Amino acid sequence: MGSKSNAPIIIKRKKVVGGGGHHGGAWKVAYADFVTAMMAFFMLMWLLNATTEQQRKGLADYFAPTVAISRTSGGADGNFGGLDIMSDDTLVMSSRGGGFITGETRSEMTDEESDRLSSVAAEVQALRDLEQVLLGQGGESLIAKEALRHVITRLTDEGLVIELFSLPDVPLFEDGTAAPAPMTRDLLAMIAQVSELVPNEIAVAAHVPAQPIVLAQSPVWDLTVSRAAATRLALEDGGLDPARVARMTGHGDRSPAVEPAVAVRNDRIEVTILRDLE
């Protein structure tokens, strides 16, 4: 045997790298993330287009409530201690913004003050129930789907504000007049019927968009006063007791709801079911 018979055998194996060479498969992961993000974006756009302003407002209020009385807790041991307003030791905001009332201070309250606090909570709940009946939250709405696009509600310190607003293709009033459109009369009649669920007084206010040009004699003040009066009459035609109307106001173009001030969305009326703050 030769001297090379004991030499080690060396086997060479070639390593085959797949998936696009030095790029690998990372681009596929990035592309999948991009497609997923685009699908989520278009789904969000579709949802925004498919919901009404009232529904979007409800979602916003759910995450950022503006009501002066807390209905739920944070579930921790901080401000609310994991309690709600139905608990004896909860923190409840005073209806006049005067601070918090704890379970300890509640025991020091007089019977009259305690009854007043319970009355405030009951009144707020009654207004919320009225809002749910009107908008059909959790059930069928009393307002047709198309008309519901013109309605938005919010519960404030003053009371339940029911706002009706014009859309570019469907105005609340005949152009430049105080004559309510048929849809507006139907909405006001429905509001008059639903408002019978509570005995509270009612306030009426009218707003119009700003004029695109400066006029020597602006008609916005007289127009909003006339529209507020027409709204009151339509509510009374719908069955509202005239004695419940506490005030009627024309705001002109001074309190726009959105910008720019000339937007059609600022053409609106507000029917407020007032809280009893005495």
Is the distance from CB of 221 to CB of 250 less than 8 angstroms? yes
pLDDT for residue 84 is more than 60: no
Calculate what percentage of the chain has a pLDDT beyond 90.
34
Q: What is the pLDDT of residue 143?
A: 67
Q: Give me the residue spans of the domains in the chain.
A: 22-49, 111-274
What is the rounded CA–CA span in Å between residue 77 and residue 90? 11
Report the candidate in 189, 193, 219, 225 with the shortest Cα–Cα distance to residue 206: 225
Residue from 99, 103, 67, 98 nearest 85 by CA: 103
Asked if pLDDT for residue 171 goes beyond 90, the answer is yes
At 6, the pLDDT band (50, 70, 90 cuts) reads: low
Gap between the Cα atoms of 257 and 208, Å rounded? 10
What tens digit of pLDDT does each residue of 213-240 get? 777 677 899 999 999 999 999 999 999 9
Q: Give the 3-state secondary structure of residue 181.
A: coil
Higher pLDDT: 72 or 64? It is: 64
Highest mean pLDDT among 4-8, 17-21, 64-68, 99-103: 4-8
pTM for the whole thing? 0.59
Going by pLDDT thresholds of 50, 70 and 90, the confidence category of residue 126 is: confident
Q: Give the model confidence (pLDDT) of 233-246 as tens digits.
A: 999 999 999 999 99
Overall average pLDDT of the 65-75 stretch: 42
Give buried/exposed letters for 163-182 (b at 16+ CB in 10 A, else e).
bbbbeeeebbbeeeebebee
CATH number for the domain running over 111-274? 3.30.1330.60
- Tens-place pLDDT, residues 12-64: 666 665 555 555 678 888 888 899 999 988 888 887 777 777 677 777 766 66
Give the model's pLDDT for residue 123: 79
pLDDT value of residue 111: 65
pLDDT 10s digits, 157-168: 899 999 999 999
More confident residue, 139 or 146: 146
Give the pLDDT confidence score for residue 278 in this predicted structure: 61
Q: Evaluate if residue 149 carries a pLDDT over 50.
A: yes
In contact, 184 and 233? CB cutoff 8 Å: no
